[in-house]
Amino acid sequence: MKTRILIFALMFTGVISYAQQDAQFTQYMYNTININPAYAGSRGAMSIFALHRTQWVGIDGAPITNAVSMNTPLNESNLGLGISLVNDRIGPTTENAISADLSYSLQTSETWKLSFGIKATANLFDLDATKLNNVDPDPSLQNYNKFTPNFGAGLYFHSDKAYVGFSIPNFLQTNRYDDNEVAIFKERINYYLIAGYVFDLKDYIKFKPAVLTKMVEGAPLQVDASANFMFYDKLMLGVSYRWSAALSAMVGFQVSDGLYIGYGYDNETTNLKYSNSGSHEIFLRYELFKNNNKITTPRFF
């Protein structure tokens, strides 16, 4: 009885665990540190990032995600450091992932660098049984929490115009919730491949196509393809398509040399579109630059 109730209560969590697994970000290209530790310090500035995402508005228990991170190069060395926190709430469950990242970069040519990164993560999973609202409560179903450590690694090959990266944020496959030694909610290994290139269409227009490919064992291949335009190094307009899942619109604005704000809206293309009014995502990024507090190479990745 306990297992049947929990499987029903975690319906959304189960869907996410196979189709999404890690927290979903439409504007992942501004928050790459969460999926690839080799990104740490790659912008040549201390970069502070905060994001809020409300997914599938109108569905009770749908995912709500908050993420904050900081990454920076370390002095004049080839090292980069990053820390991040992701809070993901789905129905009766809450997950907090606290990560530390360390990267090392090699100058492979005048314009290209190859960065290697490692990630260590502490994951805190919590089930609040009082939120299950079942009609015939099972007294054996109690609140549950679990701590699981993990580690990952990544590669990031980049210049001021282009990037390609591959990463595995979590090498260990862990069980978030076990019932009678049966894994009900399992965190599987996620593989990420990202790439993007910036074209100068005019002096004041940049165009960046980008792609994220995500592979999870037991789940369909997920591909996010985006096209972003930057005008006068200030205004960004873009669209994105998540294969067989959602169509997104994105807008961003460089308020000052250090402050950038962005917003994204997802419209589902699956049958879920009939039961929700879309997903909203907003973020702020603030950067501290070494050269008189000015950015030297405007980039939007």
pLDDT of residue 118: 98
User: Stretch 90-116: mean pLDDT, rounded?
Assistant: 94
Question: How do strand 93-107 and strand 113-127 relate by DSSP bridges?
Answer: antiparallel
> Average pLDDT over the chain, rounded to whole?
85
Res. 83: pLDDT tops 70? yes
Res. 245: pLDDT tops 60? yes
Res. 296: pLDDT tops 70? no
* Of the candidate ranges 1-5, 61-65, 118-122, 236-240, the one whose mean pLDDT is the lowest: 1-5
**Burial letters 43-82, b for 16+ CB under 10 A, else e:** bbbbbbbbbebebbeeeebbbbbbbbbbbbbeeeeeebbb
Query: For the domain bounded by 25-133+140-288, which CATH number is listed?
Result: 2.40.160.40
Give CB contacts under 8 A, 24+ apart, made by 98-102.
98/122, 98/123, 98/124, 99/34, 99/37, 99/169, 101/33, 101/37, 101/39, 101/40, 101/71, 102/37, 102/40
Q: Which of 88-97, 176-185, 203-212 has the highest mean predicted lDDT (pLDDT)?
A: 203-212
User: Stretch 103-127: mean pLDDT, rounded?
Assistant: 95
User: Stretch 226-239: mean pLDDT, rounded?
Assistant: 95
pLDDT band at 297 (very low <50, low <70, confident <90, very high): very low
Q: Which of 5-19, 57-71, 140-154 has the highest mean predicted lDDT (pLDDT)?
A: 57-71
pLDDT of residue 15: 41
For the entire predicted model, the pTM comes to 0.85
User: Stretch 118-137: mean pLDDT, rounded?
Assistant: 80
pLDDT of residue 141: 65
User: Stretch 274-301: mean pLDDT, rounded?
Assistant: 76
Of residues 33 and 173, which shows the higher confidence score?
33
Question: Which three-class secondary structure state does DSSP give residue 7?
Answer: helix
CA distance 152 to 150: 7
Quick one: what percent of the chain has pLDDT higher than 90? 59
pLDDT of residue 129: 77
The secondary structure of residue 4, as a DSSP letter, is H
pLDDT of residue 174: 75
